Amino acid sequence: MTYGWAILVVLAAIGALAYFGVLSPDRFLPEKCTLPSGLACLDFTGTSTTVTLVIQNSAGFDMQNTAVTVNSSVTNGNFACVDGQADGTLVDGEKDTFTCTSAGLAPGKFKATLNVAYLNAQTTMAHVKSGELILKIP
């Protein structure tokens, strides 16, 4: 009978911790920005209305008509990012800042898919590369 009460107390404590969000796995996920080879996400930050990314081209060729979009099931779908240099071109080795504006992001962990669409300047073929973005919105 004593073991039964001890188990009941432990279950009640675990239930209380889960109810108040202490055991939420979202609190322990690290912030990260990953893109496939050829593209590097050097830095990123987010607020309730914007997500800012610094992306570098390391593919070995120039990228033209570069467009970055952030896709999240939490927000109102997709939102596009504006090229900081406004030229749409990423020369091999060049880094550029992209600012993405949203209607409003809730505080907490934000998880989204990054899509980088570009045109290979050497072959004139269009490509879309996908990555992942996880960051904390204050």
What confidence tier does 22 reach under pLDDT thresholds 50, 70, 90?
confident
Q: What is the pLDDT of residues 99-125, one digit of tens each?
A: 988 877 888 888 899 999 999 999 999
Contact 62, 122 (CB under 8 A): yes
pTM score, two decimals? Answer: 0.77
CA distance 12 to 101: 43
